[in-house]
Amino acid sequence: MTRDAATDPQRDPQRATRRGRGPARWFHEHALFLVCMAIFVLCLAGMAASGFQVTNEERFDHGADPLAFGEYLRSGQFIEATFENWESEFLQMSAYVVLTVFLFQKGSSESKPVGERTPQDDDPRTVEHGPGTPWPVRRGGIVLVLYENSLAIFFFVFFGLSFWLHAVGGAEAYSEEQSLHGLPGVSAWEYLGTAQFWFESMQNWQSEFLAVAAIVGATVYLRQRGSPESKPVAAPHHETGA
């Protein structure tokens, strides 16, 4: 081995791996997920703190006793506000995962190439299995059927849970507001039939699908160097896929 190869980590991958082991390397390899989750936690905390203040201000205006912070986190106001947004996000992702199986956008980095077969289309039952092949693929049968659709299932399940918790929290918040005006409350099932519930849902759903359409269309003509969500900067506009 030459001196250059021995001292250059890029020419000696094994040496680079040895030097890179440890917490720093682990964080580097998982940074995108970790940073997004950290931002999520900070934003959720900010939402809880500000929502707590807003709710108690409204209760004060109606002559009701203020809530403790723990009570607010269990209240319909917080549950409804949280899962109303989660619902739309999981709907967006589940719909996007499924729609991109069948639908195409020529020139977009968010679409499979039009009229071409991609590795994502390969039947896992026909590929050679190795030690790194996921267990459900090696197992086959119904386990494989579930696994090959597990990403969409994951998002649809969380959409369903968020949808129902939005209804539960919304019904509680709606009923409390009704009681302040001397009117009867509603159950979660009854709340699903109100215009209020669907207004809350649709105002979020429309923005999510607008965002999806925007990135699908914008990536035909616009670029972001270094991002896997963009085509290479010099790629032709008509070229489809990242």
Q: In the chain, what are the domain boundaries?
A: 75-117+135-221
pTM score of the predicted model:
0.85
Among residues of the chain, what percentage have pLDDT more than 90?
74
CA-nearest of 159, 147, 164, 163 to 95 is: 159
pLDDT digits (tens, 9 = 90+) for 43-56: 999 999 999 999 99
- Cα separation, 125 vs 146, in Å, equals 13
- Cα separation, 6 vs 69, in Å, equals 59
How deeply is 197 buried, as exposed, middle or buried, from its count of CB atoms within 10 A (0-12, 13-18, 19+)? buried
- Cα separation, 173 vs 170, in Å, equals 5
- Cα separation, 166 vs 83, in Å, equals 5
Tokens for 40, please give them.
């999520």
pLDDT digits (tens, 9 = 90+) for 97-145: 999 999 999 999 999 999 888 889 999 999 888 989 999 999 999 999 9
- Cα separation, 35 vs 44, in Å, equals 14
Query: What sign does the CA torsion over 163, 165, 170, 175 have?
Result: positive
Tokens for 36, please give them.
């997004």
Under a CB-based contact definition with an 8 Å cutoff, are residues 79 and 140 in contact? no
